[in-house]
Amino acid sequence: MAKKKTPPKKALEDGGEALLAQTVQNIARGDFSSLEDLYALPGMDGVAPEVADLAESMGLILVKLEAREFHLENAAEVEERLKALNKLKDKHLGIAAHDLRNPISTIRGMSHMLVESELDDDTRRSFLESINAVSEQMLILVDDLLDVSVIESGKFDLTQIPGNLSTLIHERAELMAINAKDKDITLTTALDEVPDLPIDVDRMRHVIDNLLSNAVKFSPSGTTVHVSCEQKDDGLVFSVADQGPGIPQKDMDKLFGVFQKLDIQPTAGEKSTGLGLSIAKRIVDAHGGSILVESAVGKGSTFTVTIPIER
């Protein structure tokens, strides 16, 4: 402690008390301006350093408190977001568990009978075929679930390399044409020569496969699915058109939702996870593009994807 020249008490008695009180109040509001006046009081020069230290410490406390308040506000937002994501995850898990239960019960029931009961050859064969089919379904569901959870958690990165949409579509359409033939559905294409574009080839393939397989799944025998690809203004546009039952207006909103399955059924009893379109939309969005659907009951559906060339 420095040697005082004038006792501080005396300095304060000279009207300094009021100033001190005011200064303390000011500091509480983060205002350090009246400190100068306080120091200027006769006799204060002895205690000025201590006051200065005190003021500095109080100032630092204030700054830290302010910073903490700021973080607390952010924390509340973060908490809200985490709660919402957690709820979404629980909902998805619930639906996934539900969707997996039936296949599991079926496999369990059938394999139990294969072991325990006397079954005729036809029944035994159909049970084994079903167990096979159902296992495939479950695998697809689990894969789709992993996809959608990666995409929804926002952690999904595109690996973009120059790719050709027309070539990719042609390749997938050729494969799909085989499935289509089994249902007596004709797959036609009109794929223009288009420029290469940076795209995530694997993911785009997934989108194309999903649109093609939906078209074939929901089309009745004897109809045609048409796929086209062309350049329009500053984007590449490809579309898949079917002559299926069409989508009712009331279902349009949920079309790209997760786990949404509509009332219309695949025409040959095929399975649907309800995840395909939601995954496809997210992939297209991530490419800066858009996916639209034109449909009416009894008139078929056309899904159109636009990917901008400049991004």
Interaction site with other proteins (CB under 8 A): 94, 97-98, 101-106, 108-110, 112-113, 117-119, 123, 126-127, 130, 133-134, 261-263, 265, 269
Q: Cβ 103 to other proteins, closest distance in Å?
A: 7
- Give whichever of 86 and 105 is closer to other proteins, judged by the CB atom: 105
C-alpha–C-alpha distance, residues 264 and 255, integer Å: 12
The torsion angles phi and psi of 225, rounded to 5 degrees, stand at -110, 130
- Give whichever of 266 and 308 is closer to other proteins, judged by the CB atom: 266
| H or E segment and range at residue 295 | strand 290-295
Q: Cβ 187 to other proteins, closest distance in Å?
A: 25
Q: In 10 A of CB 307, how many CB atoms?
A: 22
Q: In 10 A of CB 222, how many CB atoms?
A: 10
Q: Cβ 267 to other proteins, closest distance in Å?
A: 12
Tell the burial category of 229 from Cβ atoms under 10 Å away from its Cβ (0-12, 13-18, 19+). buried
Query: Between the CA of residue 271 and those of 12, 96, 98, what are the distances in Å?
Result: 88, 14, 15
C-alpha–C-alpha distance, residues 98 and 244, integer Å: 28
- Give whichever of 94 and 222 is closer to other proteins, judged by the CB atom: 94
- Give whichever of 26 and 130 is closer to other proteins, judged by the CB atom: 130
Q: Cβ 302 to other proteins, closest distance in Å?
A: 23
- Give whichever of 269 and 298 is closer to other proteins, judged by the CB atom: 269
Q: Cβ 87 to other proteins, closest distance in Å?
A: 17
